[in-house]
Amino acid sequence: MTQSPGSVDPLTLAAGAAEAVRRRLRIPSAEVALVLGSGWSEAVAELEVIGRVPLAALPGFHTPAVAGHGGELLAVRITGDRCALVFTGRTHHYEGRGVAAVVHGVRTAAACGVRTVVLTNGSGSLRREWGPGTPVLIRDHINLTGVTPLVGPRFVDMSEAYAGRLRDLARTVDPSLPEGVYVQFPGPQYETPAEVRMAGVLGGDLVGMSTVLETIAARERGLEVLGLSLATNLAAGISQAPLDHREVIAAGQAAAPRLRSLITELLAVL
């Protein structure tokens, strides 16, 4: 059984997990990490995997609980001897394991030497023109979870949480990518139409249940963050259709060719 992130200092646990990652995957370090969210599982199908380990076999990690999320950590070759870590699933705040568990992957990646992290998710779109299957760059976020992974006087600058430099790089790969503001709700219930309207009034374009806490932890560790959200459905009240997680998985499958091309080309330039 792996240790819980709440039982020891989170950074100490991340350092131990990083050592296990290097040993199990037989890599000295990694430069980039990619976290796959809902709808993104097919995006890495064409990458060259050079090592894999079950997440639950690493200190502090658990098997992801959400359908459509994988349970492995992959090492993939980018170019030459450069490699990236791919977390095929994540822990969500609504699973009740605590905030430290939610951001443990990002902290472990930082301890492995990663300087750039790509955080992906599935989201509800407030913009009708961003229908199911539309990938969107995250420009900024709004944290409505009421929690943070930071403890004590950790005054981390969030004025550019999602690096403009990385968004510019992403547009060299796909100039059609729009960008918007992502709003994280606690979940696991979907947002009500009134909550979606509130998110829009606050300046949000997308709503979901992940990513924001990981971004805060990544910025604390000095990582540059690229956020990519796949609009898997129109948010409640934008569309009158009831919401279902099966829609999320189906949207990812339909968008798979575009997502594979996007991720493959992105990893080559990051």
Q: Which one from 19, 95, 191, 214 is the annotated catalytic residue?
A: 191
104-111 vs 212-220: helix crossing angle, rounded to 10:
30
Of 80, 108, 84, the C-alpha closest to 10 is: 108
- Does 191 qualify as catalytic in the annotation? yes
| Tokens read off for 162 | 């999602």
CA-CA distance, 196 to 237, in Å (whole number)? 7
Of 194, 193, 207, 69, the C-alpha closest to 136 is: 207
Helix, strand, coil % (nearest 5) of the chain? 35, 25, 45
Three-state secondary structure call for residue 143: strand
Task: Provide the residue count of the chain.
Answer: 270
Q: Are 180 and 136 within 8 A, CB to CB?
A: yes
CA-CA distance, 112 to 85, in Å (whole number)? 9
CA-CA distance, 30 to 96, in Å (whole number)? 30
The Cβ of residue 142 has, within 10 Å, a number of other Cβ atoms equal to 15
Torsions phi, psi for 66 (to 5 deg) = -95, 135
DSSP 53: E
Q: Which residues are marked as active site?
A: 191
